[in-house]
Amino acid sequence: MTSAVERTDVLVVGSGFGGAIAAYHLAAGGARVTVLERGPWLRTEEFTHDYKLGSSYTRIFDFVVGDGMSVLGGNCVGGGSVVYFAAMPRAPRFVFDRRGSIGRRMWPRSVSRDTLDPWYDRVEEALPVSRQSWQDASYAGGLWAAACDRAGRTANPLPAAIDTDTCVNCNFMMAGCRFDAKRSLTTNYLPAAIAHGARIRPLHEVQHLTRTEDGAYRVHYDVIDEEDYRLRHDSGVIEAKVLVLAAGAGATPVILQRSAAHLGAMPHAVGRYFSGNGERLNTAVVDEARAAELLGLERGPGQPAYGANAIGRGPTVASWDRLDGNLPEYSRFSLEQLYFPPGLGTILAQAPGPSGPTWFGPEKKALLERWSSWLTVFSMTEDDNEGVFGAPPATGNAHRISQQMLGRGTLSYRPTRNTWRGWEESDAEVREILERDGLARVLPWTNDLVGAYTVHPLASCRMGDDPDTSALDDRNELRGHPGIFVTDGSAVPGALTVNPAMTIAATAERAVPGIVAAARERGVDVAYGAPAPDGGTAGRAGVLPLLKAAPASSA
């Protein structure tokens, strides 16, 4: 086992949106930066487009089953940016005024849509992000838009981090893009960080943190096997003056919980107030004849009107009619057309059986035979931050069951009446749109057997103004532990009603000046002000006035 202690200026745990953005800016500013990533580092050509267990896609996901909530996240260099659908909307204005279960504003007073917009601009420039046109809409997106229009609803092409000129519409983007059309962080922030000297170490799983006598931190890690993640080959320690935790909302709180024995008590909110972004799935089976008659869809002689679920890309069209700040909290949500492949669809889709929904039997077989006529609608609602993590496992973020992907976690989630209200109202809206005049039959998700799920975990170490209900201050620094910052989805205070990647990235960008200031106070020769990874500087225009107006300690 490794015994020597390595040293770096800044150590970043995780390489997704929160980690890659911090790593780039700190490395570009002159700091020595090391990034530890639990998952593998796959080359573009290594992504396998088959969704078969045991192939590369299994290695880049982390699926953790909790008590009432399962979490699907990224597990590779690039983190969630490798396995996301690249939808990048900004959070609605009302989100920042949400009160949630604590009955008062969850977000810090210093963070609003207005103050975050310049940081959104920086992310849009860096990836870059652009709004898709109707010509970019997939078959599934087009059908969803037409159904919304017929039901008197509006629909919108989604902003996305996709190079539409390079995209081949293979619809395997969730398993990693083989064509670099999806703007994963492996195409921008991470290579730029490496160009400035950052070191990225895959298959390094952080276990706990300790503190040195002079106030620095030591990060204790294991090196795991590249095929069987239950095996550990080595261990080591890296000492750093500043830590940036960005292991994801399902892992960052577990690392901190396990570290309490060494660092002292953690803020009360560490491992509490977890949000699943209020997510919900509805699978609709489209009646091809009714789609042709009601929507006027056609694809040529002998072809079904729709029957093209797999053609295109993930989400391309969303309905935002219920993103209205005048509506009561827990009744606001977005509805997004989504593509899930047959492999995952086999697990998720529930056929109507004689005694209720079923995953097995002749009804399920008949449903699966019609998979090309499915339309999946993804709801993002407002939940009540009910999730709580139990005592951490001995190692890792979960008790790993299989060699890759699957684990049993300590997260407990009991939906409140408020959360159920959001789910039920969004389910009803999907049925109102798609079941009108027999266009489709909607098969909503049920929590009865497997509980809720999320692909966008949030808020388990959230920022805020109230020390009793937030783990971080408004600069993303961990309360009571100076020099430790959290920049991943766990820092976002609650559900966003839209895809959260853009907001996670923007809040990470916003946190960097404070991290730079803390590093300088700890003797690191580092500056802030790097351009976008491609050298662009337009996105800096709105940020500079904010930095000049900020206190000297955070500029």
DSSP letter string over 193-206? HHHTT-EEETTEEE
How would residue 553 be classed by pLDDT, with cut points 50, 70 and 90? very low
| Mean per-residue pLDDT of the chain | 92
The pLDDT score that the predictor gives to residue 549 is: 61
Give the closest residue to 38 by CA, choosing from 85, 86, 78. 78
Residue 381 CA to chain centroid, in angstroms?
15
Average pLDDT value for residue range 413-439: 97
- pTM, full prediction: 0.95
Q: Where are the alpha helices (DSSP H) in 127-218?
A: 139-150, 189-195
267 three-state secondary structure: coil
Whole-number Å distance between alpha carbons of 120 and 496: 15
Of 150-159, 259-268, 430-439, 444-453, the least confident: 444-453
Residue 405 has a pLDDT of 84
Identify the CA nearest to 460 among candidates 209, 208, 244, 251: 251
pLDDT for 542 beyond 80: no
Contact between residue 300 and residue 397 where contact means Cβ atoms under 8 Å apart: no
Q: Which pLDDT score is estimated for 381?
A: 98
Does the pLDDT value for residue 48 go beyond 90? Answer: no
Yes or no: say if 496 and 277 are a contact pair by the CB < 8 Å rule: yes
Q: Return d(Cα 240, Cα 244) in angstroms, integer.
A: 10
| pLDDT tens, residue by residue, 12-31 | 999 999 999 999 999 999 99
Q: What is the pLDDT of residue 552?
A: 41
Residue 555: pLDDT band (50, 70, 90) is very low
3-class DSSP state of 217? strand
Mean pLDDT of the 295-311 span: 86
Highest mean pLDDT among 137-141, 233-237, 536-540: 233-237
Among residues of the chain, what percentage have pLDDT more than 70?
A: 94
Percent of the chain with pLDDT over 90: 75
Segment 187-194 mean pLDDT:
96
Nearest to 388 by CA among 487, 250, 209: 250
Q: Which of 227-231, 385-389, 449-453 has the weakest average pLDDT? A: 449-453
In this structure, the number of other CB atoms found within 10 A of the CB of residue 77 comes to: 28
Residue 67 has pLDDT above 90, yes or no: yes
CA gap 43, 65 in Å, rounded: 28
**Mean pLDDT to the nearest integer, 506-534:** 96
The yes-or-no verdict on residue 217 having pLDDT over 90 is yes
